[in-house]
Amino acid sequence: MSALLGIEATKVAAAPPSLVEQGKFGGAVRVMYDKYVFLAADFTAGATLKMGAPLPAGATILKAVLVTTALGGSTSDLDVGWNASDDGVEAADTNGIFAAVVCDSAVSAYAPSDTVAGGGATVGTLSAFFHKKFESSVQIVITANGTCSNDAGDTVELEIWYTVE
């Protein structure tokens, strides 16, 4: 019985072998992590949190994790995505990672697994971020789509796993 080969495994098995794209075989995984602690009830509709340092050009997102305390607000939710790159190469997609994460209770959201504990959420479509490779540096952002009734001391944490070519 013959073995079936994935795209990158086919490149390695070829005679002569082809080069595998950097970051897809033996690449180092990097993690961008940031936490925001609210000082007051200030996360109003349209407010944006910039999280971590911008992802560098060549970054390919592998996984995302969002964890929040109960931020309150039964009509509010959060989006996680990225701003447009400064050079205009990458378009903004402010809900490209998570869309409409309800923040009225504590949340633990994992993408691309679509696993959400706590508030309801729709994970951004896999085509938008899973193995999304950025040609230019982008800033990851969290946007409030309604006013959260957060209190001082409430938190939002975000972790993005990525490789870089």
Using a pLDDT cut of 90, give the percent of the chain over it.
29
Matching residue, tokens 């309604």: 146
pLDDT of residue 124: 46
157 three-class SS: strand
**35-59 per-position pLDDT tens digit:** 999 887 777 778 899 999 999 999 9
**48-98 per-position pLDDT tens digit:** 999 999 999 999 998 898 888 877 766 678 889 999 999 999 999 988 888
The CB-based long-range contact list for 20-24 (8 Å cut-off, 24+ gap) reads 21/165, 22/163, 22/165, 23/58, 23/60, 23/163, 23/164, 23/165, 24/163
For range 1-7, the mean pLDDT: 73
Whole-angstrom distance, CA of residue 108 vs CA of residue 36: 15
Domains, the chain, with CATH or none = 28-164 (2.60.120)
Statement: residue 147 has pLDDT above 70: no
pLDDT of residue 128: 62
Cβ of 80: how many Cβ atoms within 10 Å? 28
Statement: residue 119 has pLDDT above 60: no
Query: pLDDT: is 13 or 83 the higher one?
Result: 83
Statement: residue 17 has pLDDT above 90: no
Using a pLDDT cut of 70, give the percent of the chain over it.
79
For range 118-126, the mean pLDDT: 49
pLDDT of residue 125: 46
